[in-house]
Amino acid sequence: MVDALRSAFDQNGWVKFDYDDAVAAWVDHVTPLARETRNDPDQIAKWLRANGTWFVGVNAIDNDGQGRVGDGPALTGQLRDFIEARFGWHELDRAQVSITYPGYPQKDPHETDAGFRYRRDRDAAHLDGLKPELPGGGRCVDEAHAYVVGIPLNHTDDRASLLVLWEGSHLIMRKAMQEVFADVPAEKMRRHDVTQAYQTARREVFETCPRITVHALPGEAYLLDRFTLHGVAPWQDGAEAPAEGRMIAYFRPDLPGGVSDWLTRP
């Protein structure tokens, strides 16, 4: 089973894990805390975006490096076993709680028309960690993540703003990033402008890689290669979800060696 999952992951850039009691136990403990976070006025002021249709919730859960929150369980089971075998375990960051609501996405007042169209029509497709931190809005690798873990926290149907990914895009994006950093000294990697290479590779992905939506329920989970282009689908009319919205917890643990690790580790 592990070999089959690994082969699928390496080829496609992602894998979904079936229901696991260990993941379900983690979800049972964390979901009430996620609701509390969403109802916190300070968190709402900080993270409610897309004209009230998306609660970003970055690092909203106060878990430790094993995923424990308070006296709750660590994140274990098949998901962790696979990660340890494929990558080695990296201490988890504090979980994001990403919540979408009917009507997502709506245009924020500060958002450009082009930015909103990209969110609506291209699912805001991105690689995590590439941020417009340079003068003029150029992108650099601000955060060097090992992988991306997604864990649904409540039940929704397959029309409620699913995760979107471009299958096989990790191969294109990894190659593009390795090429753009080929002659860059290690001490300059953190602030190196990758904007043009990133945009060119992204266009190739849109032209050549299938767009896949991923639907999962509590107790299930999915893992993305850090170079897999992904985003969030618009909320479809008639989607069935609780009033609390569609809630997913995400982990993106950092690599100890920064951009160098990001480029070279499996």
Domain extent at residue 88: 2-255
3-state secondary structure 136-148: HHCCEECCCECEE
Q: What is the pLDDT of residue 2?
A: 72
Residue 265 counted as domain residue: no
Residue 63 counted as domain residue: yes
Number of folded domains that form the chain: 1
Residue 30 counted as domain residue: yes
Nearest to 117 by CA among 105, 109, 133: 105
Q: Could you give the CA distance from residue 262 to residue 255 in angstroms, rounded to a whole number?
A: 7
Burial bucket for residue 135 (CB in 10 Å: 0-12, 13-18, 19+):
exposed
Q: Could you give the CA distance from residue 238 to residue 224 in angstroms, rounded to a whole number?
A: 28
Residue 140 counted as domain residue: yes
Give the residue ranges of DSSP H helices in the chain.
2-12, 21-38, 41-47, 78-86, 113-122, 169-180, 195-208, 258-264
Residue 249 counted as domain residue: yes
Residue type, 194: V
Segments of the chain scoring below 50 in pLDDT: none
Is residue 145 classed as helix, strand or coil in its secondary structure? strand
- Per-residue pLDDT reduced to its tens digit, 143-183: 999 999 999 999 999 999 999 999 999 999 999 999 999 99
Residue 151 counted as domain residue: yes
Cα 49 to Cα 87, 110, 111: the distances in Å are: 33, 10, 10
Residue 80 counted as domain residue: yes
Nearest to 77 by CA among 153, 26, 3: 26
The CATH number of whichever domain residue 40 belongs to comes to 2.60.120.620
Q: What is the pLDDT of residue 1?
A: 67
Q: How many CB atoms lie within 10 A of CB 54?
A: 26
| Phi, psi dihedral angles at 149 (to 5 degrees) | -110, 130
Read off the tokens for 260. Answer: 């160098």
Residue type, 233: A
The answer to whether 245 touches 100, Cβ cutoff 8 Å, is: yes
Residue 264 counted as domain residue: no
Read off the tokens for 162. Answer: 């699913």
pLDDT mean across residues, the chain: 97
Residue type, 258: G
Burial bucket for residue 110 (CB in 10 Å: 0-12, 13-18, 19+):
exposed
